[in-house]
Amino acid sequence: AQSVTQLDSQVPVFEEAPVELRCNYSSSVSVYLFWYVQYPNQGLQLLLKYLSGSTLVESINGFEAEFNKSQTSFHLRKPSVHISDTAEYFCAVNTGGFKTIFGAGTRLFVKA
Amino acid sequence: GAGVSQSPSNKVTEKGKDVELRCDPISGHTALYWYRQSLGQGLEFLIYFQGNSAPDKSGLPSDRFSAERTGGSVSTLTIQRTQQEDSAVYLCASSLGINNEQFFGPGTRLTVL
C-alpha cells in the first residue's frame, strides 16, 4: 500500500534563509509525486509535480523538488524564503489510479 | 473561470443531526473527490466520482457517510447522525481525470457539538 511521510510537522525559519521540507513515500510501483500548498485561509493549490522525465521540478515562485527513486523521497527546497511563503505544504503520491495519498502536512513559518 | 465552490463554508450542528455539504466542481471536470482534513492530519480520501462510472466509496469511514453526484456535476456529501469525531474540514476537489492536477474548493468546516 502507498503511504506518504512528511517528517516535520512544523518548520520555523528566518526570512531569506534556505528551507527543506522532507517527504518520503512508500510504493512498490512507479509513482507520480505532487506538492500542494495551502496559504492561510485559502484552499489547497498545486505547487509542483513530477510525472516523468527530469527528476528536478520547479515552481514559478522559486521552490524546487527532486525525485529520488533510490531514497523514495521528494523533498521540497527553496534557497531563500519570504514571509509570503508561510503556509502548510502537503506532499502527495499517486500510482496511476484515481487515489492520491496525501501526507500529514508541514507548516512552514517564516519569521522576519 | 470559476473555481471549485463549496457550501456552506461553516456548519455547526448538534450530535445526532444530519448534514449535507455541497460541492460545485469546475465545469468540464469529470473527476470529483471528497476529502476530510482533521487537525494535525493529512487529507483523508473519502470518495471519488469519475464521469458516469460507479463511485469508489472505499474511503468512507462508516455507513453514516454517503455522497452522490447529479448529472455529472454537483456533488453532495451527506453525514447522518453526526458524531463529534466527524468535526473536520471537508474538502472537495475536481480534475480533468486521473494524474491531472486536482483543484480544491475552500472547504466546509463542520463542527459537531
Which residues of chain B fall below pLDDT 70?
1, 40, 98-99
Q: Do B42 and A105 touch (CB under 8 A)?
A: yes
Query: What pLDDT is attached to residue A2?
Result: 76
| Partners of residue A45 in chain B, C-beta under 8 Å | 103-104
- Rounded Cα–Cα distance for residues B102 and B105 (Å): 10
- Taking only the tens place, the pLDDT of each residue in A87-100 is 999 999 987 777 78
Q: Could you tell me which residue, A68 or B52, shows the higher pLDDT?
A: A68
DSSP class of residue A18 equals -
3-state SS, residue A24:
strand
Give me the mean pLDDT over the A56-75 stretch: 93
Q: Is A8 exposed, middle or buried (0-12, 13-18, 19+ CB in 10 A)?
A: middle
Smallest CA-to-CA distance from B26 within B68, B89, B72 is with B72
Mean predicted lDDT score pLDDT of chain A: 91
DSSP class of residue A83 equals G
Query: What pLDDT is attached to residue B4?
Result: 94
- Taking only the tens place, the pLDDT of each residue in A8-49 is 999 999 999 999 999 999 987 878 899 999 998 888 999 999
The cell for A97 is 489510479
Give me the mean pLDDT over the A81-88 stretch: 96
| Partners of residue A40 in chain B, C-beta under 8 Å | none
Weakest mean pLDDT among A56-65, A66-75, A80-89, B37-46 = B37-46
Query: What pLDDT is attached to residue B23?
Result: 96
Query: What pLDDT is attached to residue A10?
Result: 95
Q: Which of residues 5-64 of A touch B (CB under 8 A)?
A: 6, 9, 32, 36, 42-46, 49, 51
Smallest CA-to-CA distance from B46 within B67, B22, B71 is with B67
Q: Which residue on chain B is closest to A37 by alpha carbon?
A: B104
- Rounded Cα–Cα distance for residues A45 and A35 (Å): 9
The residues that bridge with A50 in the sheet, in sequence order, are: A33
Query: What pLDDT is attached to residue B56?
Result: 83
State the count of interchain CB pairs (< 8 A) between A and B.
Answer: 53
Degrees to nearest 5, angle at CA A42 with B47 and A66: 75
Query: What pLDDT is attached to residue B1?
Result: 55
Dihedral (CA of A100, B4, A52, A24) sign: negative
| Partners of residue A87 in chain B, C-beta under 8 Å | none
Query: What pLDDT is attached to residue A53?
Result: 86
- Other C-beta atoms closer than 10 Å to the C-beta of A5 total 15
Q: How far is B49 from chain A (nearest CA, A)?
A: 9
